[in-house]
């Protein structure tokens, strides 16, 4: 439901409070055909009790067969058609290390590379230098000044860094400078439309300086830039849903995506455990209509292939759940942004177990526990993730009737 015209028409500013609890990569697979999934094998008495009285279903993050990254996975959950609304790679990279990408900024991913005396690339990843080597060179790059704009450079991981330009008149329609080949020089920044000529000129000045500064710092003696992007100007929660929304997350990437849709970001104290996150929600409960809570380690353990440890992360979420339930949310949705089966060790396309707890209006289905196979038989059926927000708003009594 990316039909935000209709959403704007029907959404009202009053109504109940909504919690969207996202366990990253929640969905899983049994290790053997007769086995249980991570979620099914986890001991989750609180979630199972909610499953008995609420509605279950399966969320399709983008489309059948598509394994989404974190950006589209979350945009879907936030109600944005992830194919229509895309966050450029430069913005996601910057956001992922905690940079704030503001309207007008141009952000891009950088790779250190190795060039020979003639300027031809001999290694597109600079021998995969470790993060600390990349960080040293980023310190050098921070010295580069450009006229009329601020430059922001931060190390990411290994040979990667993020670059942002901030100032008036910038435009991100610029082609990659990575030729995707060795034996050839890096490409100059080239504007893909006239409005970006000025920005491309600045980038080329920056690249010339970078080349000078990095000379002698082999193997990382040059850079390529990929995925120039700007703030995607996503419709904001306040505008589209009339929701005052907050994000409680530990990792910068998710805070960044939440910020792009207009959520306030609440800092999580303690050790960033589920309990810490839920207590942060409780502390801000009266100030917001909507809370997005992000749990990272379900995905991490899935990517590591650690079935038991992923189940334990789910159990730790379940154990802390009474903190949220004690707030008596009108709507609590528990889901994931995609599946990350430990068996698959990567984001997958499998639809994601979803639980809708809404004491007044949820249809209790026959599910007795929160798990993939119970969700198949749930009252919500299988649905595009981008339709979940409308369901949550409806159950929070935040949508008026459509038509007479």
When the beta carbons of 307 and 349 are compared against a copy of itself, the nearer one is 349
Query: Rounded to an integer, what distance in angstroms lies between the CA atom of residue 291 and that of residue 342?
Result: 28
Q: What is the DSSP letter of 94?
A: H
If the CB atoms of residues 173 and 340 are measured against a copy of itself, the closer one turns out to be 340
What's the min distance (Å) between Cβ of 382 and a copy of itself?
A: 4
Q: Are strands 290-295 and 245-248 parallel, antiparallel or unpaired?
A: parallel
Smallest distance from the beta carbon of 226 to a copy of itself, in angstroms? 11
Q: Which residue, 20 or 87, is less far from a copy of itself as judged by CB? A: 87
Report, in Å, the least distance between residue 212 CB and a copy of itself.
31
Toward a copy of itself, which CB reaches closer, 5 or 267? 5
Q: 17, 324 in Cβ contact below 8 A?
A: no
Q: How far is 130 from 133, CA to CA, in rounded Å?
A: 5
Question: Which residue, 258 or 320, has its beta carbon nearer to a copy of itself?
Answer: 258
Interacting residues with a copy of itself (CB under 8 A): 1, 3, 6, 10, 29-30, 33-34, 52-53, 58, 62-73, 82-83, 86-87, 89, 92-93, 341, 343-344, 346-351, 360-361, 363-366, 372-373, 376-379, 381-383, 387-395, 399, 401-404
Q: CA of 349: how far to CAs of 59, 63, 112, 254, 341, in Å?
A: 10, 8, 32, 20, 10
- 376: which 2 tokens? 């198949």
For a copy of itself, the closer of residues 237 and 344 by Cβ is 344
Residue 372: count of CB within 10 angstroms of its CB: 24
Q: Which of 334, 336, 365, 370 is nearest to 350 (CA)?
A: 336
At 269, list the tokens: 């104290």
Cα torsion 355, 359, 362, 365: sign: positive
Q: Which helix (H) or strand (E) holds 360?
A: none
Least distance between a copy of itself and beta carbon 204 (Å): 26
Query: Is 255 or 350 the residue whose CB approaches a copy of itself more closely?
Result: 350
Sort residue 403 into left (φ over 0), alpha (ψ -120 to 50) or beta. Answer: left
**76 or 274: CB nearest a copy of itself:** 76
Q: Is the dihedral of CA 228, 5, 73, 264 positive or negative?
A: positive
Q: How far is the CB of 349 from a copy of itself (least distance, A)?
A: 5
Shortest Cβ 59–a copy of itself spacing (Å): 11
Least distance in angstroms from the C-beta of 62 to a copy of itself: 6
Coil/strand/helix, residue 154: strand
Cα–Cα distance, 224 to 131 (Å, whole number): 17
Least distance (Å) between residue 67 CB and a copy of itself: 5
């Amino acid at each position: 439901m990316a039909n935000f015209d209709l959403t704007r028409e029907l959404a009202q500013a009053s109504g109940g409070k909504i919690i969207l609890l996202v366990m990253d990569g929640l969905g899983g697979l049994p290790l053997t055909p007769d086995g249980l999934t991570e979620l099914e094998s986890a001991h989750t008495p609180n979630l199972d009790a909610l499953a008995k009285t609420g509605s279950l279903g399966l969320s399709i993050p983008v489309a059948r067969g598509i394994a989404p990254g974190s950006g589209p996975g979350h945009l879907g959950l936030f109600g944005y058609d992830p194919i229509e609304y895309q966050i450029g790679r430069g913005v996601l990279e910057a956001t992922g290390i905690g940079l704030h990408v503001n309207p007008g900024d141009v952000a891009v991913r950088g790779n250190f590379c190795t060039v020979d005396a003639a300027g031809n690339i001999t290694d597109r990843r600079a021998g995969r230098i470790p993060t600390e080597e990349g960080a040293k060179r980023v310190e050098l790059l921070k010295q580069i000044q450009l006229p009329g704009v601020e430059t922001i450079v931060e190390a990411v991981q290994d040979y990667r860094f993020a670059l942002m330009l901030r100032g008036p008149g910038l435009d991100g329609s610029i082609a990659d400078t990575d030729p995707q080949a060795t034996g050839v020089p890096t490409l100059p920044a080239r504007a893909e439309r006239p409005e970006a000529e000025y920005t491309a000129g600045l980038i080329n000045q920056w690249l010339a300086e970078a080349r000078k500064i990095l000379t002698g710092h082999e193997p990382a003696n040059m850079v390529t830039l990929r995925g120039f992007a700007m703030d995607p100007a996503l419709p904001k929660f306040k505008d589209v849903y009339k929701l005052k929304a907050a994000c409680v997350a530990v990792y910068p990437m998710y805070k960044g995506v939440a910020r792009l849709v207009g959520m306030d970001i609440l800092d999580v104290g303690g050790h960033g455990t589920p309990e810490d996150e839920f207590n942060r929600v409780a502390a801000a409960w009266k100030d917001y209509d909507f809370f997005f809570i992000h749990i990272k380690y379900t995905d991490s353990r899935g990517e590591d292939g650690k079935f038991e440890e992923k189940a334990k992360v789910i159990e730790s979420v379940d154990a802390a759940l009474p903190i949220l339930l004690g707030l008596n949310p009108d709507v609590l949705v528990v889901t994931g942004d995609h599946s990350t089966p430990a068996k698959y060790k990567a984001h997958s396309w499998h639809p994601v177990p979803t639980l809708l707890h809404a004491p007044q209006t949820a249809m209790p289905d026959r599910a007795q526990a929160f798990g993939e196979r119970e969700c198949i038989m749930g009252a919500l059926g299988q649905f595009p993730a981008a339709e979940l927000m409308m369901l949550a708003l409806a159950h929070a009594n935040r949508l008026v009737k459509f038509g007479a």
